[in-house]
Amino acid sequence: MASNNSNRSVVPEAKDALNKFKYEVASEVGVNLKQGYNGDLSSRDAGRIGGQMVKKLIQQAENQMK
């Protein structure tokens, strides 16, 4: 049976690009994200980063469909 690990990358080569994207988005939304451990980051700020990432990725996919 295949593993259902949600943290496993479907495209491992995309990991670096997504990590860079995460820092760009954090900067855009005004969250001070540092390299390494960010355990002091609030859930609200983490959600702002993730939400904005998803929004931008969906927008990019929609633009490619046109």
Residue 5 lies in a domain: no
Residue 35 lies in a domain: no
pLDDT by residue, tens only, the chain of 66 residues: 455 667 777 888 889 999 999 999 999 999 999 999 999 999 999 999 999 999 999 999 999 998
The pTM score is 0.78
Nearest to 41 by CA among 29, 53, 56: 29
Domain count, the chain: 1
CB 15 within 8 A of CB 9: yes
Residue 36 lies in a domain: no
Q: Which residues constitute the domain of residue 55? A: 13-30+41-65
